[in-house]
């Protein structure tokens, strides 16, 4: 039998906190009959968000096309959905059970290109779009392709969604962390970016790309247009490709903020020399179809032979799952006004987005009322990155520790805090150290996806727990 020593050390090194030991403990508690509020992961339908009727009707017909010929089909399915699925099957007669072309079904890639053109008012080319198994696979393909040597590094935000750090660990690339500016709504700061690149250079690291997550996970922030322009200038100056993770583009709640795609900003800047990889997904927004594993990667500003390599890479695993490709199709080509399914589609979409906005407000306002806790009210995405203070521990001065030891010590503190929160309240959140955080600060990430009453309950329980936890530390 093989042991851990037989495994690829890069796998052993990769960390993915969102499903780490705290979640394992939560599952044990649940199995023992305790109520757990899962706020650890952006998995909307696991937290009672209902799927859109339109999307599920369309997918059902696609999976079982015999229904299209049933004389009673219109008793259950909207007429426009029946017509749409018939047309889709005329264009793709093999249905969902056969492999598709490697980059994805051509008419769906065209629909994605049309969606980008409609969203941004810019041209888009279906041959620069690859349909992927969720955004994760798109991000991994890009990182895989860009890392040429063990000296190559990628700028990733701190805090960041751990897909990026874990994938860099798997592929043997170096992480070049850049701090997001908590005091400035978690925007990117040019001085910090410069300092990160210079530090990487001193360590012999060659930066090849920058990852930007907008709207942000775990921060819930939305980047301003000016900030994006600054990032594009910076990437150009340092010859970095941009990996724009835009999976939360529909999740913007704050009226003062808007989503600006990198594709659009770069097009408006007439930027032709910097390569852009942008990612989108069916998992987030108001669809929340995480289980369908659909998404796309759009590539801009690369020569044809480079594009061909990305298609080859995709072809090595044949193609993205075909049901996920169709879920992506229904995301980018939703019902139109005048169609039978349109009014319900709009009602469901608006209800989901309005509930998310309300819950972001309840979380933001509630947390900021707790002494010793603060939160930049989430403008977008599905998360709040809550900062909390703990009294110093007797006999320990973290400032006297070497940086790595201090990091470990602080990670231990926020993990212990989150584990105690779980044990005492049933609330499952992820320690800030799983995403990265500035030395001397402590955070946890929580989603605001559970139903409103559970978010209200969560805020109450947090307050009681935090007071009790800090008092116990003071008395120790
Ligand atoms: C920023 C970000 N990118 C990518 C993903 C993964 O998305 P997908 O389900 O499409 O792979 C997530 C999931 O939470 C995410 O938060």
Kindly give the distance from the C-alpha atom of residue 247 to the centroid of ligand 1, in angstroms, as a whole number.
6
Question: What is the DSSP secondary-structure string of 92-153?
Answer: STTGGGS---TT--HHHHHHHHHHHHHHHSS---GGGEEEESHHHHHHHHHHHHH--STTEE
Beta bridge pairs of residue 93: none
CA 58 to chain centre: 25
Q: What is the pLDDT of residue 190?
A: 95
pLDDT-derived band at 238 (thresholds 50, 70, 90) equals very high
In the numeric block, which tokens belong to residue 295? Answer: 């998404």
Strand partners, 443: 387
Residues paired with 48 in a beta bridge: none
From the CB of residue 18, how many other CB atoms can be counted at a distance below 10 Å?
A: 21
C-alpha–C-alpha distance, residues 122 and 301, integer Å:
14
Taking residues 298-324, report their average pLDDT: 96
Ligand 1 binding pocket includes 283 (Cβ within 6 Å): yes
The Cα–Cα gap between 197 and 322 comes to: 40
Mean pLDDT (whole number) for 7-25: 83
Mutational pocket test of ligand 1: of 245, 248, 281, the residue with most ligand atoms within 8 Å of the beta carbon: 281
> Rounded to 5, what percent of the chain is helix, strand, coil?
50, 15, 35
Please name the helix (run of DSSP H) or strand (run of DSSP E) that holds residue 471, with its range, or none: helix 452-475
- pLDDT reading at 18 higher than 70: no
Q: Is the CB of 135 under 6 A from ligand 1?
A: yes
Atom of ligand 1 nearest to the CA of 382: 16
The count of C-alpha atoms lying within 13 angstroms of the C-alpha of 425, restricted to the half-sphere facing its C-beta, is: 25
* Upper half-sphere CA count for residue 166 (Cβ side, 13 Å): 19
- Please tell me if the CB atom of residue 213 comes closer than 6 angstroms to any atom of ligand 1: yes
User: pLDDT tier at 17 (50, 70, 90 boundaries)?
Assistant: low
**Which pTM value belongs to this model?**
0.91
**218 C-beta neighbours (distance < 10 Å), count:** 33
3-state SS of 160-188 is CCCHHHHHHHHHCCEEEEEECEHHHCCEC
Question: Looking up tokens 């690859």, which residue turns up?
Answer: 130
Ligand 1 atom at minimal distance to the Cα of residue 290: 9
The predicted-structure confidence for 379-438, as pLDDT tens digits, reads as follows: 999 999 999 999 887 777 777 777 777 777 777 888 999 999 999 999 999 999 888 888
pLDDT computed for residue 410 by the predictor: 76
Q: How confident is the model at residue 60 (pLDDT cuts 50, 70, 90)?
A: very high
Angle between helices 403-425 and 452-475 (to 10 degrees): 120
Collect contacts of 392-396 with beta carbons under 8 A, ≥24 apart.
393/473, 393/476, 394/476
Picking from 411, 448, 470, the residue whose alpha carbon sits closest to that of residue 20 is 411
Q: Is the dihedral of CA 208, 404, 440, 379 positive or negative?
A: positive
459 band by pLDDT with thresholds 50, 70 and 90: very high
- Asked if residue 245 has its Cβ within 6 Å of ligand 1, the reply is yes
Residue from 164, 211, 217 whose mutation best tests the ligand 1 pocket (most atoms within 8 A of CB)? 217
From the CB of 161, is ligand 1 less than 6 Å away? yes
Nearest CA to ligand 1 atom 16: 217
Instruction: Write out pLDDT tens, residues 167-215.
Output: 999 999 999 999 998 888 899 999 999 999 999 999 999 999 999 999 9
CA–CA separation, 174 and 177 (whole Å): 9
């Amino acid at each position: 039998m093989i042991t851990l020593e037989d495994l690829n050390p890069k796998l052993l090194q990769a960390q993915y906190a969102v499903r780490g030991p705290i979640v394992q403990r939560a599952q044990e508690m649940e199995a023992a009959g305790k109520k757990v509020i899962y706020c650890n992961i952006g998995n909307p339908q696991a937290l009672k968000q209902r799927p859109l009727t339109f999307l599920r009707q369309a997918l059902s017909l696609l999976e079982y096309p015999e229904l299209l010929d049933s004389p009673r089909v219109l008793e259950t399915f909207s007429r426009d959905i029946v017509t749409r699925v018939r047309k889709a099957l005329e264009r793709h007669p093999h249905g969902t059970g056969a492999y598709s072309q490697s980059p994805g079904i051509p008419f769906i890639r065209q629909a994605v290109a049309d969606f980008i053109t409609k969203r941004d008012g810019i041209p888009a080319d279906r041959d620069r779009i690859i349909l992927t198994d969720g955004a994760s696979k798109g991000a991994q393909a890009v990182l895989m392709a860009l890392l040429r040597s063990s000296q190559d590094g990628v700028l990733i935000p701190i805090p960041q969604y751990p897909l990026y750090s874990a994938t860099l660990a798997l592929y043997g690339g170096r992480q070049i962390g850049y701090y997001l500016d908590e005091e400035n709504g978690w925007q990117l700061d040019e001085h910090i970016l410069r300092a990160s690149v210079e530090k990487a250079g001193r360590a012999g690291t060659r930066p090849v790309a920058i990852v930007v997550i907008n709207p942000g996970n775990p921060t819930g922030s939305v980047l301003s247009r000016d900030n994006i322009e600054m990032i594009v200038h910076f990437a150009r100056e340092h010859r970095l490709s941009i990996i724009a993770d835009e999976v939360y583009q529909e999740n913007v709640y704050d009226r003062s903020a808007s989503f600006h795609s990198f594709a659009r900003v770069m097009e408006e800047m007439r930027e032709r020399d910097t390569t852009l990889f942008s990612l989108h997904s069916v998992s987030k927004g108001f669809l929340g179809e995480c289980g369908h594993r659909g998404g796309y990667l759009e590539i801009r500003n690369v020569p044809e032979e480079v594009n061909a390599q990305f298609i080859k890479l995709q072809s090595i695993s044949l193609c993205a799952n075909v049901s996920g490709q169709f879920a992506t199709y229904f995301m980018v080509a939703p019902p139109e006004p005048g169609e039978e399914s349109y009014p319900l589609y709009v009602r469901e979409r608006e209800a989901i987005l309005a509930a998310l906005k309300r819950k972001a407000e309840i979380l933001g306002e509630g947390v900021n009322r707790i002494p010793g806790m603060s939160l930049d009210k989430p403008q977008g995405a599905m998360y709040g990155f809550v900062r909390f203070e703990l009294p110093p521990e007797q006999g320990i001065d973290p400032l006297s520790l070497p940086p790595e030891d201090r990091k470990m010590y602080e990670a231990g503190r926020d993990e212990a805090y989150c584990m105690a929160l779980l044990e005492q309240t049933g609330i499952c959140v992820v320690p800030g150290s799983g995403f990265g955080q500035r030395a001397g600060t402590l955070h946890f990430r929580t989603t605001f996806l559970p139903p409103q009453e559970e978010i209200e309950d969560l805020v109450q329980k947090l307050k009681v727990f935090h007071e009790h936890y800090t008092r116990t530390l003071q008395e120790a």
